[in-house]
Structure 1
Amino acid sequence: MANARLAHQAHVEVFSSDRWRALQQQGAAPQRPLWASTGVKSSDYPDTLYVSGLIASGTVNTMPEKTLKAYADHGTLSTPIEQTYDDAAQVIQAVTGAGVDLDDVFTTIEEEGIQKFVDSWNDLTESVRAELQDKAR
């Protein structure tokens, strides 16, 4: 969560810069941060933890249906993400101070996440291909 919040802070900084405003005047559109796979995997945490903690204007959230229904049922707005940046930085400092190599952790998570998207895309295209072949027979 802390990493995502700091990523949002970086996003806000980039898209409020003079450089961005110049690009925007030439027709550029902002990219929106994507919070992917925000379902909670552990029953030790509230089932809406990542949705509530990452609500921010101009973001996209690809939460599973179960999480969407849970948030609709009992989700709450939490502290605005802009007010969490300092706490998030402290969490990251504490984790690195404990000896965790966050560059390695983030690289591993990114590579695994990309592979999951690739696998999902391949599964989808294969199922479409199979369906089209069945219809062509």
Structure 2
Amino acid sequence: MKQSWKHYISGLEKRDQQGLPINQISSVASFFLSRIDILVDPFLEKNALSDLCGQVAIASAKTAYQIYKRLFSSERWKKLAEKGAVAQRLLWASTSSKDPAFKDTRYVEALIGPDTVNTIPLQTLEAFRDHGNPASRLEENLDKAASILEKIKVGGIDMEAVAVQLENEGIDKFTEPFQKLLDAIDNQKEQAGV
């Protein structure tokens, strides 16, 4: 995430140096939550850390949000914001709870906070509308989040490696549907004689 934000800021600085507008660019950095827990939880269970199952994604997201706040309140960023730049926001994705042992609104409730986007699935949205508890919680229990991440690090989980694996899997999951879309467009163009 941190690299994504730094690249975003660098890109805006380059545009500004070239005299190009920076005030109409919006961007998000996607954070796939339940996929983190799905990948990490089996390792936790095998290594006597099962008490942390279902908690790593939220702890990671809360930590990422703190990094986001620091980067987008820095002097470097303020110079761009004065020229109309819009901060790259965190996008919470994969926010349905895949494990039936956990509350179906857990990711949504835990990560409500300012300057974020949630691509909440319809079923999860309906559950939240039915029995969700809306409140800003993104900055609650930050010490607990740090403790969870420290425990899994000591337990042998490399979150950098987890992030790389999930990024690669995510690229694969988006590449095939995108190619199908391009193929469908080409087929439509052929049929239209374009």
Q: What is the TM-score of this pair, normalised by structure 1?
A: 0.86
State the secondary structure of the residue aligned to 2:118: strand
Distance 2:101 2:187 in 1: 40
Q: CA deviation at 1:119?
A: 2.6
Q: CA deviation at 1:28?
A: 1.1
Distance 2:86 2:116 in 1: 14
Go from structure 1 to structure 2 and tell me whether the alpha carbon gap of 1:42 and 1:86 turns closer, same or farther (over 3 Å shift).
same
Q: How well do the aligned residues superpose, as a CA RMSD in angstroms?
A: 1.9
Q: Which runs of 5 or more residues in structure 1 are unaligned?
A: none
Q: Which runs of 5 or more residues in structure 2 are unaligned?
A: 1-57
What letter matches 1:32 in structure 2? R
Go from structure 1 to structure 2 and tell me whether the alpha carbon gap of 1:22 and 1:106 turns closer, same or farther (over 3 Å shift).
same
**Corresponding position of 1:82:** 139
State the secondary structure of the residue aligned to 1:104: helix
**Corresponding position of 1:42:** 99
**Corresponding position of 1:112:** 169
State the secondary structure of the residue aligned to 2:143: helix
Distance 1:128 1:73 in 2: 39
**Corresponding position of 2:78:** 21
- Which of 90, 93, 102 is the aligned partner of 2:150? 93
1:123 maps to 2:175: no
Distance 1:114 1:79 in 2: 31
Report if aligned partners of 2:113, 2:136 keep a CA contact under 8 Å in 1. Answer: no
**Corresponding position of 1:53:** 110
Q: What is the TM-score of this pair, normalised by structure 2?
A: 0.63
Cα deviations across residues 84-114 of structure 1 (Å, max 9, x unaligned)?
3222111100101111122211211121122
Go from structure 1 to structure 2 and tell me whether the alpha carbon gap of 1:61 and 1:100 turns closer, same or farther (over 3 Å shift).
same
Cα deviations across residues 66-99 of structure 1 (Å, max 9, x unaligned)?
1111111111135621223222111100101111
Cα deviations across residues 33-59 of structure 1 (Å, max 9, x unaligned)?
111111111111111111111111111
Go from structure 1 to structure 2 and tell me whether the alpha carbon gap of 1:76 and 1:123 turns closer, same or farther (over 3 Å shift).
farther
- Which of 113, 122, 146 is the aligned partner of 1:65? 122
Aligned length in residues: 136
State the secondary structure of the residue aligned to 1:95: helix
Distance 1:79 1:66 in 2: 21
Go from structure 1 to structure 2 and tell me whether the alpha carbon gap of 1:50 and 1:18 turns closer, same or farther (over 3 Å shift).
same
Distance 1:130 1:112 in 2: 28
- The sequence identity of aligned pairs, in percent, is 38
